[in-house]
Amino acid sequence: MTQDITQLSDARVFGGRLLRLRHESATLGCAMTFALFLPPQVEATAGTTVPVLYWLSGLTCTDENFCQKAGAFRLAAELGIAIVAPDTSPRGDGVPGDPDGAWDFGLGAGFYVDATEQPWAAHYRMHDYVTRELPELVEAAYPVNDRRSISGHSMGGHGALVCALRHPGRYKSVSAFAPIVNPAAVPWGEKALGRYLGPDRARWAEWDACALIATATERLPILIDQGDRDSFLEAQLKPQNLVAAADAVGHPVTLRMQPGYDHSYYFIASFIDDHLRHHAAALLG
């Protein structure tokens, strides 16, 4: 399997290694780049494998935003947790972007759904990529095991919630920063779901955390941090909708409104350690 992966870089960080990697994705029909942080424990003892936190980034981001700005690797190294950060969408020649060149759809904005409409269906299958192809690749090629958790920011927070809710038992824990919890009811989501999935709103519910939580067969506790000075809070994020949907069915959700924080990676860096510990409690027992 390693022969199918091209290593772009390898940096030592807090005793571990941060790899930037590229492979040809059969799911997405293009080359995909992702980052993998391996903590020092995998080098300390031969045969050691570690659990993995999958991080899904937001609109316009690549695999590099989290790696450069979140400040997650010091504690991840201490805890012994690997982190995988994929890109946010397919890219390359032949991959369609927004026809108007907008930043909130297409390239950099895959929305972690499996598109069914043309011309998007051939490439925009980020959900299948994140939940199936990428973990299979990483687990076959690197010293990690199948104990997985998932987190993300904004569009990626939406992706993390949907991945966990649609795949009971696949993840040990889930969390999100400023997630789009109800995409079927906000402009970003309406644009993305309408184009990727078509006009039938009943199909959108399959990709909306507020709808999915009602019939979830696993009540995995959800941790959410949200800044109260986030400029997208009222129009795009609406965390109160998820809390209401969760309360209606007894699904455990902790929503922490953080005074004075915005939507940026300064906000993420301020609380990333809490999320890493949340995941470590589930991944490491």
274 part of the active site = no
Torsion of CA 38, 42, 48, 53, to 10 degrees: -20
Q: Which of 230, 251, 278, 279 is catalytic?
A: 230
3-state secondary structure 203-235: HHHHHCHHHHHHHCCCCCCEEEEEECCCCCHHH
Distance, CA of 136 to CA of 1 (rounded, Å): 10
- Residue 257 token pair: 């409104």
263 part of the active site = yes
Q: For residue 111, give the DSSP letter.
A: T
Q: Which of 263, 275, 278, 279 is catalytic?
A: 263
Distance, CA of 230 to CA of 53 (rounded, Å): 25
Q: Which of 149, 154, 173, 175 is catalytic?
A: 154
Distance, CA of 145 to CA of 51 (rounded, Å): 5
- Residue 7 token pair: 């290593």
**Enclosing H/E stretch for 249:** helix 239-249
- Residue 256 token pair: 């922490």
Q: Do 110 and 30 touch, CB atoms closer than 8 A?
A: no
230 part of the active site = yes
- Active centre residues (catalytic): 154, 230, 263
